[in-house]
Amino acid sequence: MARLFGTDGVRGVAGRDLTAQLAMDLSVAAAHVLGDAGAFAAAGRKSRPVAVVGRDPRASGEFLEAAVVAGLAASGVDVLRLGVLPTPAVAHLTAALGADLGVMLSASHNPAPDNGIKFLARGGFKLSDAVEDEIERRLGEDWSFPVGSAVGRVREAYGEANRYVSHLLTTMNAALDGLNIVVDCAHGAAHMVAPEALVRAGARVEAIGARPDGLNINAGHGSTHLDKLAQIVVSRGADLGVAYDGDADRCLAIDHTGAIVDGDRIMAILAAAMHGEGLLAKDTVVATVMSNLGFKLAMRDAGITVVETAVGDRYVLERMKSDGYNLGGEQSGHVIMLDHATTGDGLLTSLHLLGVVAKSGVSLKELAAVMTPLPQILINVKDVDKGKAAAPELLAAVAEAEGELGETGRVLIRPSGTEPMIRVMVEAASEEHATQVAGRLADVVRTACV
C-alpha cells in the first residue's frame, strides 16, 4: 500500500480521501505515538497533555477540525482551538504555549475541495518520517480510552493570534513607515493576521484576496496566481506587493514594475542583508537542488556559502537544524528563518524583506538585482522507467552536457516520486542553449529509460 503521509502531512479530497473517520483515527494514533515517545509526560507531570489545533478557511476544515478535536479529547488530551490561522502561527503557538503537539488542517496552495492534516511535535517542529510511519502503523488499534475526569477538555483560544503577530513584530529591526504595499492573502489563513501585522509594522496596506468564503481559497489569488497582484501594484503606484499561499507558509513578491521576485531572489536579498550585519550563521544559506544557478553564483560573489539539499522544505530544515544554519528555503517561496520560526513562514519572510527595503532605502527591484537568474528549462519525460535514471547512456549524456555548459549552466535529472516520469532540468546562459541541451537529454531519457 502507498504511504498515507506525503511530503507535508496527509492530503486528499476532503470527504472522499480524507474523511472525518480518518481524521479522528489519525489524531488518536498521533496522541498515543507522541505520548509513547515521551512528548506528553515529563517526569512527575500530573496534568493532562495539551494540543493546539488550527485550520485554514476551507469549508471542509470545519468538520475535519471537529473530528480531530474529538479524537484528541477522547484520548485524554486537552485541546486549544486556535481557529483560522497560518501553519507557521500554529507551529509558533505550539511552542509558545508549551503544547505537547500541534495540528494544522490545510492543503496549502491546493484548491478548496482538497484538505490535509499536518502534525507538529512539541516545540513546533514537523514530525520525522519515522514518527509519521509509526502513527500510520498504529491506525485503528484497539485503544483503551479514558473516562470521567480523565477525558480531555476543549476550549477556544482565538485570541492567541495576537501572540503570534506580536512575536513577528519583535523580530524586526526596521519599521516599515512610508512603505505603500499591496498584500494578497489568497483568501486563505492569513487574511486577518497579515494585514494587521503589516499595518502594525508601519506600512500602508491594501489587502486583496482577504475575503474567504470557504470555497475560494487560492482561486485566482495568492502566490500561485500573481497576475492580479502585479496589476494592482502597478495601477496603484505601490512600492511592492507580497503574496501568500493558502496556509501562508510561503511568500513571493512583486516589485513596483510588476515583475515577480521569487523565493531564490528573496533568499538572496535576506542572505546578503544578514551577512552584512553579521547575522547569517556560518555565512551560509541552505537551498534545494532546484534553486537557480544564478542564486548560487550571486551568493558565491557575496562571500556566502550555499549548502544544497533534496527538494522539500523539510529537508532544508533538517540540514539547518543539524548543522547550525539560520536561513534556508526554496524557489517556491518557502523561506525558513530559524532564529525566529520553526518552519517556513510567509508573513515573517515578507516582514523581513520589507524591512530590508525600508532600512536600505532601495527599491525591491534594485535589491533583487543582487542575482541574475539563468534561463531554466524543465522537461517532464513521461511513461518511462524512473528506476533507470542512472542508466550508463544517460549518465554519459549528462556528463557531456555538463562539460559543454561549464560554469555557466548545469543539469539536473530527477525521477518523479509519484509518477513514471523523469524530470530533466537544464540551466544555461541563454534560453536557446538551455532548450537545446534539455531536448537532447530528454531524447536520451526516452531511449535509455524504457
d(CA 89, CA 193): 10
The dihedrals phi and psi of 11, each to the nearest 5 degrees, come to -130, 155
Residue 349 is which amino acid?
Answer: T
- Asked if residue 425 lies in contact with residue 416, where contact means CB atoms within 8 angstroms, the answer is no
- DSSP one-letter string for 31-58: HHHHHHTTSS--TT--SPPEEEEEE-S-
- Asked if residue 205 lies in contact with residue 199, where contact means CB atoms within 8 angstroms, the answer is yes
Q: Which residues contact 138 (CB under 8 A, 6 or more apart)?
A: 29, 32, 33
State yes or no: is 108 an active-site residue. Answer: yes
Catalytic residue chosen out of the listed positions 27, 75, 106, 108 = 108
* Cell (9 digits) for 268: 538572496
Q: Which residues contact 271 (CB under 8 A, 6 or more apart)?
A: 280, 285, 299, 302, 304, 327
- Asked if residue 235 lies in contact with residue 206, where contact means CB atoms within 8 angstroms, the answer is no
H or E element at residue 307: strand 305-309
206 sits in the region (left: phi over 0; alpha: psi -120 to 50; else beta) called beta
Going across the sheet that includes 240-244, the strands are: 204-208, 180-184, 240-244, 251-255, 260-261
245: nearest Cα among 136, 110, 153, 101: 110
- DSSP one-letter string for 60-73: HHHHHHHHHHHHHH
Q: Which residues contact 116 (CB under 8 A, 6 or more apart)?
A: 8, 9, 10, 11, 12, 18, 105, 106, 107, 108, 110
Residues marked active site are found at 108
